[in-house]
Structure 1
């Protein structure tokens, strides 16, 4: 009878599989989590690592190198699904075809792994670019940047990049380093990957809402580029911007919480594309900074009248800010002082 030895890293693979399966059940059925479900489905196959490492299926081909080929596309589809409201899985399955094809070539697993790491690097770059574009568009269309920015997803991709670089280094040093070093290295990498997946699940569930106008924002950007081609329109932007300034000064509508580009454009009877372009071109500022700047001016005026720190937060909320952290960050950016430091400077004068 052959005894099978279970190693600590194998226990991690079992936990990894369990967490992935639980995560699938927690988010399944929600449109914005289709990409996450696909990624967790791949992680739920971590038990295959155990089977291969224990040589239980030594007569068969390796599968895990092909699984690695799927990792990059799945992270990219996760990002795309979190950003685009009309994400369709079937339209993106082509990204996973290389992983399916790779199964037939796993007898040459070193070459398959090399392709997997190249693919992962390409898809991570694509994911970072997509997130960067999304964040740029957010600043141009909403003042509630922090709530929609998906910072946790950016952090996840950053850690994944580091993990894969380290893991690639480990695989290429297998013939050089001591086996004990490699075993501990492998354990630590697997533990970090497990923790990262847990972090990903928790933050995806905690994401209160997604910004559902990214397609519209891309349209805004494309049309804005066309508008900017004509130099004469720069003067037009200044004229329209003056009208926007007059409207906001008189209506004080920017004091509304979660005031958006759509709210402003509807009030003006203009398209979102035109209003966004006008603020950028005529005011040389993005929508978020423009509205928040007006709010900070209101806060400063009230603080100059009262010169008290007790009700700063109430004043901030009255000015349209929806959280203390956002207000403090914007105030510091606009004045180079914290609210408390600003009040102190007023009292000293």
Structure 2
């Protein structure tokens, strides 16, 4: 286990340094760099305990005890600001760290006024000075570790809606790796909760140090988060003022009440949109956005979004890619000498993986299966 801890601690500080020195770093990079360093100190603190140094150096007892309260807030804030263009945290964002600060303030008398012998007695449970506080702190760890991943996941779900409402592509616009990080953090604290319930509630004694499971999972997560975080660029680095935000797909009237679009105008725009897509084929632009298509129709992005949702019953992403799929089917019938990727690129897609996923979503089978079936009929 020493190797795992040492590797995790080293990688935490190394990745944190890389993120701090990353060129063109945005606010999410700064948040992630601090979070990674916090994890490094957290791992270091437990490693010192694991090596038995708390017994020989009692003043180290509990020095990183409140650190688990930081992981949930950092995960949430990193997810949140990865979807925004903010340059700094707002005052309200610091509220997430109040429990952490309060914990250290409460423990200050332990750190500064307890003797070494008294700290050892508290650590071994020989006195009850901090027993209630320890229980409250443990419950807070679990609640924080379970609730914040839920909040972060909801942010990513909203982000997915924004992408589908405004972009016809999703390469470099997704944060799927953050979703896996959310699953990982949630998994760590679910495991913690189960171990605590079994150990404290049912008195079950594990034949091994169960804490090592948590920290091994954290080491793996830090490697993943650091690797992808270094590569990640700001998703909405351009002007986001014209992005259409979709929140309730089934409530069109309430969603677009400010567009001022009546039924007659909507039908006319829908007709113009169909003619534009058939004649000019703007979907052949692999990076077509809702705003760009709205400019071609001389209407606002919100009006165009309303028309697509109301008359086509799909979001912008699916609307445009439906035309691309049809284009692929059409040109593949007369250009069967080209490979599938070449045909996909000519149809407006910009990657094989995106094309395969979109085609299967719209047709229920893969492109190769479709072509094979067409040859057999």
Gaps of 5+ in 1: 1-7
Q: CA RMSD in A?
A: 2.7
Structure 1 segments, 4+ long, off by >6 Å, are 229-232
Q: Post-superposition shift, 1:199?
A: 0.8
1:293-312 aligned at under 5 Å gives the runs 293-308=322-337, 310-312=338-340
The separation in 2 between residues aligned to 1:279 and 1:207, in whole angstroms, is 31
Deviations for 1:244-296, whole angstroms, at most 9, x for unmatched residues? Answer: 22122221121012111122122223222222222112221110111000011
Q: Post-superposition shift, 1:97?
A: 1.8
Partner of 1:4: none
Specify which of 254, 279, 288 is matched with residue 308 of structure 2.
Answer: 279
Partner of 1:163: 188
Deviations for 1:25-82, whole angstroms, at most 9, x for unmatched residues? Answer: 2122511412211211210212122334531553566243311111111110110121
Larger relative contact order (C-alpha < 8 A, sep ≥ 6)? 2
1:20-59 aligned at under 5 Å gives the runs 20-28=12-20, 29=22, 30-31=25-26, 32-45=28-41, 46-53=43-50, 54=52, 55=54, 56-59=56-59
Seen in structure 2, the aligned counterparts of structure 1 residues 337 and 122 have a Cα distance that, compared at 3 Å, is closer
Seen in structure 2, the aligned counterparts of structure 1 residues 242 and 140 have a Cα distance that, compared at 3 Å, is same
Q: Post-superposition shift, 1:155?
A: 1.0
The separation in 2 between residues aligned to 1:314 and 1:132, in whole angstroms, is 32
TM-score by length of 1: 0.87
1:1-349 aligned at under 5 Å gives the runs 8=1, 11-28=3-20, 29=22, 30-31=25-26, 32-45=28-41, 46-53=43-50, 54=52, 55=54, 56-59=56-59, 62-89=62-89, 91=91, 92-106=93-107, 107=130, 108-174=133-199, 176-181=203-208, 183=209, 185-207=210-232, 210-212=235-237, 216=241, 220-221=245-246, 225-228=254-257, 233-308=262-337, 310-349=338-377
Gaps of 5+ in 2: 108-129
Deviations for 1:104-152, whole angstroms, at most 9, x for unmatched residues? Answer: 3353222112112212222211101101010011111112224312111
Residues 167, 288 of structure 2: 8 Å contact kept: yes
The separation in 2 between residues aligned to 1:247 and 1:269, in whole angstroms, is 12
SS of the aligned residue for 1:144 comes to coil
Residues 198, 204 of structure 2: 8 Å contact kept: yes
